[in-house]
Structure 1
Amino acid sequence: MAFDLVFFGGTGDLTWRKLMPALFQAWRHGTLPLGGRILAVARDERDDAGYRAWLKERLAEADSAKRPSDDEFEQFSRAIHYLRMDLSQPADYARLTAWLAERHADTVVMYLATSPHLFPQICEQLGAAGLNHDRVRVVLEKPLGHDLASAQEINRVVRSVFSERQALRIDHYLGKPAVQNLMALRFGNVLFEPLWRRERVANIQITLAESLGVGTRGDFYNRTGALRDMIQNHALQLLTMMAMEPPSSADADAIRDEKLKVLRSLKPFDAVSVARDVVRGQYRAGNVMGQTVRGYQEEEKVPPHSHTETFVAIKCEVQNWRWAGVPFYLRTGKRLAQRHSEIVVNFHPTPHPIFPGSHAPNRLVIKLQPEDGLELHLLAARGTERSVFNHEGLEALSPVSLDLDFDKAFPTERVGAYERMLLDAIAGRLNLFVRSDEQEQAWRWVEPVLQSWKHDPSGVKSYTAGTWGPPAASALVARDGFAWAEEA
């Protein structure tokens, strides 16, 4: 399949850190369709050779296993081209049109790896240049907007130029192999379906933890914060996949319809529930994995006395028959104890325990990163010299786990998130992309939190880098008689 893939923001961090390496891996794996052209668009004065040389230097920073050899890069880069464009100038879009017209591509993918405030301008210019015909798709990176109003305005402009099936809103978490296995776990196996409900589940915890700080992205992060950066998109998408009803088919809209129902069922916030059920924090200097690190307000490009949150913990509820009364706890943060993303399903304890000692309830752990797998935590007898059932009393049970490491179970190299999403965009597979009504409903749910924080900017709690966040996050869960997984 002949395709043209255009990266707006061709010299930006996202393009060279994530997108180009993902395309190279697809090329190396033999999954990138033949006959494709890749065009990087930016304002710098470069030609094809200059951009390829620049990109080769950047790819040399990749992990050694994913780094191209000189020969590999020479072959891969033959498909890479460069076009200087001022995104506000119609004449430059005419030059893009002429470049695309040099041949007939079956598919043209416009990937907007730019700041979201440029999305409307780019889409309007593409429409004016006639680059919105039925062979064109546009990929929109998150965060899509800064709040509900800005997201609705972006979607209004996008819909005025492209159909819903042409507009692909990307959330790369949905491309992670572990998230794919979450769908397989729920809808490819019958084992857990009878347990996947309020009668059996005590609570569900979603943790997206990072040990890194904001690094050189202080200006971006200070405008965004953890709620917009991680909760409104990644965490809520994972929640919908955990809570959704089985879709009628594998069709993209059938899946997205069920996810939308979950978002609409989330209990809405008001000022009282924001104060009670939402914790925000900001890291101060501390120690992460043996290394002394500075606090958020000492980071590069972060203004003094910033109230931007680097940590959020939320208690929420899906108000429907399956999940009513079951707390869902969402948590994300920077400079936490470790890089660690997982979903934990804590089941109710046995209704009438007859064994002494540990009464730890069963739990299912879905590991997202850095490792990728499943753990099922159970209780079992140790197998001592006496019987479990004997006249001296019942033997105490001990916790054991069944651990499935997907990297070991599937030893061939697995497809990365951006690699999968780019291949799906080229092929026109929409299942892993977020529909506009999903995305707007997610903004609608977090909007009261943003408004409450706007009126009380000083409510950010401090936590030491290298810990699991402010103590109030532990208290949030303990109030219901539970604990975060690492504290249980």
Structure 2
Amino acid sequence: MKVVLNLAKKEQKALFVIFGGTGDLAQRKLYPALFDLYKRGYLKKHFAVIGTARRPWSNGYYRDVVRSSIDGMVNSQSQIDEFASHFYYQSHNVNDVDHYETLRVLADKLDQDYGLEGNRLYYLAMSPSFFGTICEHLKSQGLTKTTGYNRVIIEKPFGHDYASAKKLNDEISKYFPEEATFRIDHYLGKEMIQNIMALRFGNSILSAIWNNKMISNIQVTLSESLGVEERGGYYDTAGALRDMVQNHILQIVALLVMDRPDSYCAKDVRKRKVETFKALKIYSPKEVAQNFVRGQYGAGKDMVAYREESMIAPDSMTETFVAGKLEVDNCDMAGVPIYIRTGKRLATKATRIDIVFKKDDDSLFGGQGLADNILTINVEPDTGIDFTLNTKKIGQEFATRQTNIGYRLTKEQVAKVPEAYERLILNALQGNSVNFTHWDELEYSWKFVDAIRNAWDQEDLPVDYFPNYACGTMGPQASDELLAKAGHHWIF
């Protein structure tokens, strides 16, 4: 695999227009990410930010909000003030054409004042229902008529099924081509998720055994210890399947099982990922019942049940847990079960991947029972890699024991790791879409998820079917039974 990289730290000249600039995402993620890029030298003098929302804020108040969002990240107040001076605010109604004219005038002025060379990045940190309207008016009112690039970053949820996702994509693609559309999935910006390709294709020993001849099963766990918190209104219309499986988990699975790309560039990686999604078996309703489990958390110590959370219906049948077995029918991984699991109010917050290799015949050692060889990719909270091997026990008698070879990032290394949004925003500035989701990936992932959702919707479950797992556990018993049917068990 040829690796195509640009390692030069080059200043990025651009105007950021953030729709939803007063929102939680902007304050928690976007402004700190931009500040990190500023501290690292990717943003210097030649950048500006326009925050837009309906609130009647002034530039001064907006800059105070930005300062507050990055408070504590550095000790230099002068650096914070200089960074915040690049921020401007416009009260904006996304449905009002006249407001886009005002926005264009400000954008053109900042382009001249800061020497931005016509480069513009539009971040839609708003409800997807506004995406099409915003993109249309950006085009019709001349904001994209510049000498530089014009790119749009879109947050999830990107639709709630295939039909709505396609409609949304059709609306956006009228005004922004695919190569200028960056659909963000922050999991693809995490350090150890990006390490998957380095591990698979950067080590001949792993490349040689990463196939159905050597791998017994693959397990992907995204567990959360918190409940729905303040997201109840959204979550009860989405559920764990749409909220986590359709995007984060399926993107991780694609990286784990796709064929080797010809190079590390967006076009070639995208090609392999799309092939993987096409090879993902879509289940019939009967197969969904055999291969997928759903759950909803009940009350626990000092924790209320899902149905008692704010903005949740007392008889809600929305799942807060999903476990399933996936099958990808490609050359190297056909026949390898891929087990996925995600849920809220589980025993711990963790994201990890376990690659379980097939056991050798242990008759040489008297059938004492060799442990599984397991490669574990710890995404969070611990960041690192573990490899479980069989070695000899210390002593006179010959017996084997399980030994772990581990690697963890030190505190110093963790401090240098870019936060996911920082990394992905820089990628968008550079026009590198390798770590973003493309439409054809979404198309096939939604079709897979829709088959599960439709099968569940056809079931007539009694209201008392939920809750079926307690807070602080790893989900319903049926999740363990799903693996046990094939002689497997959850490693984590």
How many angstroms apart in 2 are the aligned matches of 1:402 and 1:257?
A: 34
The residue that corresponds to 1:90 in the other structure is: 97
The residue that corresponds to 2:431 in the other structure is: 428
Deviation of 1:8 after TM superposition, in Å, equals 0.8
AA at the equivalent of 1:373:
G
AA at the equivalent of 2:418:
V
Q: Which of the numbers 290, 315, 319 marks the counterpart of 2:329?
A: 319
Deviation of 1:379 after TM superposition, in Å, equals 0.9
The residue that corresponds to 2:9 in the other structure is: none
Task: Tell me the SS of whatever aligns to 1:206.
Answer: strand
Once the two structures are superposed, residues 51-71 of structure 1 have per-residue CA deviations (whole angstroms, 9 ceiling, x without a partner) of 1223334444xxx5x366544
Deviation of 1:354 after TM superposition, in Å, equals 2.2
2:284 aligned with 1:278: no
Deviation of 1:332 after TM superposition, in Å, equals 0.6
Matches for 1:59-458 after TM superposition, within 5 Å: 59-60=70-71, 66=73, 70-102=77-109, 103-104=111-112, 105-106=116-117, 107-133=119-145, 135-287=149-301, 292-356=302-366, 357-384=368-395, 386=396, 395-407=398-410, 410=413, 413-456=416-459, 458=461
Using the TM superposition, name which of 109-118 and 457-466 deviates more.
457-466
Matches for 1:32-47 after TM superposition, within 5 Å: 32-47=43-58
Are 1:48 and 1:81, in contact at CA under 8 Å, matched by a contact in 2?
A: yes
Using the TM superposition, name which of 339-348 and 175-184 deviates more.
175-184
Alignment CA distance shift 1:235-1:68 (3 Å): farther
AA at the equivalent of 1:11:
T
Using the TM superposition, name which of 238-247 and 33-42 deviates more.
33-42
Deviation of 1:453 after TM superposition, in Å, equals 2.1
Once the two structures are superposed, residues 65-103 of structure 1 have per-residue CA deviations (whole angstroms, 9 ceiling, x without a partner) of x36654442222111111110011111111111111112
Task: Tell me the SS of whatever aligns to 1:367.
Answer: strand
Alignment CA distance shift 1:397-1:181 (3 Å): same
How many angstroms apart in 2 are the aligned matches of 1:457 and 1:71?
A: 62
The Cα RMSD (Å) is 1.7
Query: 5+ unaligned residues in a row in structure 2: which ranges?
Result: 1-11
Deviation of 1:351 after TM superposition, in Å, equals 2.7
How many angstroms apart in 2 are the aligned matches of 1:204 and 1:457?
A: 32
Alignment CA distance shift 1:242-1:33 (3 Å): farther
Task: Tell me the SS of whatever aligns to 1:484.
Answer: coil
TM-score computed with the length of structure 1 as normaliser:
0.93
Are 1:461 and 1:470, in contact at CA under 8 Å, matched by a contact in 2?
A: no
Alignment CA distance shift 1:69-1:284 (3 Å): farther
Identity across matched positions, percent: 37
How many angstroms apart in 1 are the aligned matches of 2:75 and 2:458?
A: 50
Deviation of 1:429 after TM superposition, in Å, equals 1.2
AA at the equivalent of 1:316:
L
The residue that corresponds to 1:391 in the other structure is: none
How many angstroms apart in 2 are the aligned matches of 1:157 and 1:149?
A: 12
How many angstroms apart in 2 are the aligned matches of 1:443 and 1:368?
A: 25
Task: Tell me the SS of whatever aligns to 2:293.
Answer: strand
How many angstroms apart in 2 are the aligned matches of 1:40 and 1:480?
A: 53
How many angstroms apart in 1 are the aligned matches of 2:172 and 2:436?
A: 15
How many angstroms apart in 1 are the aligned matches of 2:314 and 2:322?
A: 21
Task: Tell me the SS of whatever aligns to 2:478.
Answer: helix
Are 1:14 and 1:113, in contact at CA under 8 Å, matched by a contact in 2?
A: yes
Task: Tell me the SS of whatever aligns to 2:296.
Answer: strand
AA at the equivalent of 1:332:
T
Are 1:8 and 1:113, in contact at CA under 8 Å, matched by a contact in 2?
A: yes
Alignment CA distance shift 1:413-1:119 (3 Å): same
Task: Tell me the SS of whatever aligns to 1:165.
Answer: helix
Using the TM superposition, name which of 31-40 and 267-276 deviates more.
31-40
The residue that corresponds to 2:17 in the other structure is: 6
Deviation of 1:465 after TM superposition, in Å, equals 0.7
How many angstroms apart in 2 are the aligned matches of 1:32 and 1:178?
A: 25
The residue that corresponds to 1:50 in the other structure is: 61
AA at the equivalent of 2:314:
P
Task: Tell me the SS of whatever aligns to 2:192.
Answer: helix
Once the two structures are superposed, residues 279-318 of structure 1 have per-residue CA deviations (whole angstroms, 9 ceiling, x without a partner) of 111111114xxxx211111111212211111111011100
How many angstroms apart in 2 are the aligned matches of 1:429 and 1:142?
A: 19
Matched length: 470
Are 2:67 and 2:81, in contact at CA under 8 Å, matched by a contact in 1?
A: no
Deviation of 1:457 after TM superposition, in Å, equals 6.2
Alignment CA distance shift 1:36-1:463 (3 Å): same
How many angstroms apart in 1 are the aligned matches of 2:242 and 2:441?
A: 15
The residue that corresponds to 1:392 in the other structure is: none
Using the TM superposition, name which of 330-339 and 351-360 deviates more.
351-360
Deviation of 1:446 after TM superposition, in Å, equals 0.6
Are 2:18 and 2:50, in contact at CA under 8 Å, matched by a contact in 1?
A: yes
Once the two structures are superposed, residues 399-424 of structure 1 have per-residue CA deviations (whole angstroms, 9 ceiling, x without a partner) of 11110113369466111110000111
Query: 5+ unaligned residues in a row in structure 1: which ranges?
Result: 388-394
How many angstroms apart in 2 are the aligned matches of 1:178 and 1:23?
A: 22
AA at the equivalent of 1:90:
V
How many angstroms apart in 1 are the aligned matches of 2:74 and 2:481?
A: 45
The residue that corresponds to 2:6 in the other structure is: none
AA at the equivalent of 2:488:
F
Once the two structures are superposed, residues 436-477 of structure 1 have per-residue CA deviations (whole angstroms, 9 ceiling, x without a partner) of 111111101111111122223636552101100011111111
Alignment CA distance shift 1:353-1:114 (3 Å): farther
Deviation of 1:150 after TM superposition, in Å, equals 0.6
Are 1:202 and 1:348, in contact at CA under 8 Å, matched by a contact in 2?
A: yes
AA at the equivalent of 1:83:
Q
Task: Tell me the SS of whatever aligns to 1:259.
Answer: helix
AA at the equivalent of 2:311:
K
Are 2:222 and 2:350, in contact at CA under 8 Å, matched by a contact in 1?
A: yes
Q: Which of the numbers 2, 9, 29 marks the counterpart of 1:18?
A: 29
How many angstroms apart in 2 are the aligned matches of 1:174 and 1:376?
A: 23
Task: Tell me the SS of whatever aligns to 2:312.
Answer: coil
